[in-house]
Amino acid sequence: MNTAARIVIISLGFAACSQPLINDAEVYGNLRQIMQQNQLQARVKSNDLTINENSYALGAMADLEGELMIYEGEVWSSVAQHDSVLLTKPHHFEAALLVKSQVNDWEEVQISKPLSSMKELEQQLAQLIEERQATERIVPFRIEGEIAHMDWHVINAKEATGSGHDAYREAGFSGTTDNQTVKILGFYSRNHEGIFTHHGSFLHMHFIKADEAMGHVDALSTKLPVTIYLPKNPIP
């Protein structure tokens, strides 16, 4: 399924688990176990978390029913529905995978050239993070502004005919966004491949667009000016 989406915004409810801390970011679930061992159960519930205006998080709903994002304390879920996406602001949620951090203040970093790919973004972030002596940390970041192109998806294991990432993604919704203003939240770590980033990548990113759509970012190119926001020192 792809591109044009009918979006509905509603409010929902659920119920509530543990609290491991890794490098001051909270990490729940394991991507390798989810995709290779079909462990889709809830690893954390919203009642277990402290969520306020400085909370930022991304992940996947329990049973991989959709995507999750917390941005400036606002909780969003996105669920694929055939040729549409249902965007909601749930009162409670359960997550099979979640990475969360608290950021009180952000530092703006202006990038002097457009970024042509996520790999180029990853290299730019690696340089910025090394300059801040935080290469062993899990670092949240934001990008706000107009993007040139973005491919994204909303996962859906419930409707999948097989197991594994490709099957779950194929059963969900895939979209393309061009020349639009979006907000992107990501987490960078060079130590968590297979935990919350896919093999071969140090990034996990979600976007939200004007309360209209939210999903997992698969490919990205940007326009100028590009502003990356990093936590002000000390990085959490």
99 neighbors 69 (Cβ within 8 angstroms): no
Among the listed residues 178, 233, 206, 140, the one whose alpha carbon sits nearest the alpha carbon of residue 4: 178
Q: What is the mean pLDDT of residues 33-57?
A: 94
CB 188 within 8 A of CB 203: yes
Peptide bond before 20: cis, by omega within 30 degrees of 0? no
The full set of domains in the chain, from first to last, is: 7-102 (3.30.1330.80), 106-160+176-231 (3.30.1330.80)
Please give the residue that has the higher pLDDT: either 107 or 2.
107
Q: At 81, list the tokens.
A: 């529905």
Rg of the chain taking only CA atoms, in angstroms: 16
Buried-state track 104-120, b at ≥16 Cβ within 10 A, e below 16 = eebeeeebeeebeebeb
| Cα–Cα distance, 133 to 137 (Å, whole number) | 9
What is the structure's pLDDT at 8? Answer: 40
Q: What is the pLDDT of residues 60-98, one digit of tens each?
A: 999 999 999 999 999 999 999 878 889 999 999 999 999
Strand partners, 180: 147
pLDDT tens profile 128-165: 999 988 888 999 999 988 899 999 999 988 877 777 77
39 three-class SS: coil
Q: What is the DSSP letter of 63?
A: G
Whole-model pTM? 0.87
Three-state SS for 227?
A: strand
Q: What is the mean pLDDT of the chain?
A: 86
